[in-house]
Amino acid sequence: MCSSDLYRQVLRLDIAKDGAAGGVNWEQFFDKSSAYRLLYTLQIVQAVLEDGRTGTARAVTLNPEGFPTARLANRTTPVPGAPAPEELEQLPEAATKTATRQPSQIAGSEQEEVALRGQWAEEFLTQGGFQYILKDFMACKLPAKSIGSAPTSESLELKYVAFMLHLLRTFLMAAYSTSDADAYKVADLVRRSSSAKEGPVEEQVEQDASGVGESFKQLAKLLEGPLGMEVLDSVDYPALQAKVLGVIQQVLQKEALVFDDKLIINNALSLWVGCLLHENGLIKAFVQSEGQEVDAERLVLAGLLHCPYETVREEFKESLGAL
């Protein structure tokens, strides 16, 4: 199967549809039994959310700042539990690059690409995909220790957590953009500030003057009205804040960070800032450390002063400053 065919299967959700009921099995769609296939699926989904361009690579694998990485696309050192090398013939080496090309190079035409992206986003929302990712994130556990440069099952877990945070942030920001302008503006400011550091201009997603790509506009339109309210109402904000802060704290406690750790902090901060402004009472709960295991003062000091990585300290500074 060529990569373009697999790309279409992922976007049409064919790999996880229940033919009889017509629903989508999201656990099957995000199949964790195959590390390589899951990574490729994540890249395709992020290509959908970022107009199919190289922003996907930045969000999943590209590392312009030189952080240590644990890339999975390395056939000579397979991930434990990953498919045997002969099974990877369905995922050629060019596959991960294909997902980040411009739309017209993947689908038959740009019109087909736009239609596929819109169809995927709509089905993801109407078939409970957002709720699945939210539930999966709330139940996830980060590796407790630093990981090296060799690909491991822990490195896949980091990539998946970074992806879930990216997805939650994107859909909530799109929902905020239609119903909560203040939360959207501040969360978007954090996102854009971070994106400005993530690579040269020619590698960034094509956007309009407001910094918004066509995929995000399409997603925001889908989330107007009842569908957007359903997404916002499905979130337990105090519980999400506690989880996000716990993840950030766990990353900061590591002796050394890899690039996926940095992505986790990046997406977590943007997601958290939007939630703070959207939901009354979260700031007070954070400051007073109510209902959370994280001590607010220690977390802020760790992010602003104690973290040895300047880019992470800058992320904290700009996120808190945006408030």
Q: What is the CA radius of gyration of the chain?
A: 19
Structure confidence at residue 92 (pLDDT):
36
User: Looking at residue 256, what is its pLDDT?
Assistant: 87
Cβ density class 206-222: b for 16+ within 10 Å, e for less = ebeeeebbbbbbbbbeb
CA-to-CA distance for 197 and 58, rounded, in angstroms? 11
pLDDT score at 200: 41
CA atoms of 258 and 262, how far apart (whole Å): 7
Q: What is the pLDDT of residues 142-168, one digit of tens each?
A: 876 655 555 566 778 888 999 999 999
Going by C-alpha positions, the residue among 173, 175, 187 that lies closest to residue 227 is 175
Measured CA to CA, the distance from residue 280 to residue 202 in angstroms comes to 39
Kindly report which listed range (35-39, 111-115, 227-231, 294-298) carries the lowest average pLDDT score: 111-115
Task: Report which of 316, 195, 322, 191 is spatially closest to residue 251, judged by C-alpha positions.
Answer: 316
Report yes or no: 61 and 73 within 8 Å, Cβ to Cβ. yes
What is the rounded CA–CA span in Å between residue 201 and residue 89? 34
Q: What is the pLDDT of residues 54-87, one digit of tens each?
A: 333 344 444 444 445 544 333 333 333 333 434 3
Q: Are 139 and 32 in contact (CB under 8 A)?
A: no
Does this model's pTM top 0.75? yes
Percentage of the residues of the chain whose pLDDT score is greater than 70: 68
| Burial environment of residue 184 by CB neighbours within 10 A (0 to 12, 13 to 18, 19 or more) | buried
Please tell me the predicted confidence (pLDDT) of residue 2.
Answer: 53
Name the helix (H) or strand (E) containing 80: none
CA distance 190 to 63: 19
C-alpha of 27 from chain center: 17
Instruction: Please report the pLDDT score of residue 83 as a whole number.
Output: 39
Sign of CA dihedral 180, 182, 183, 188: positive
What is d(CA 2, CA 7) in angstroms, rounded to the nearest whole number?
9
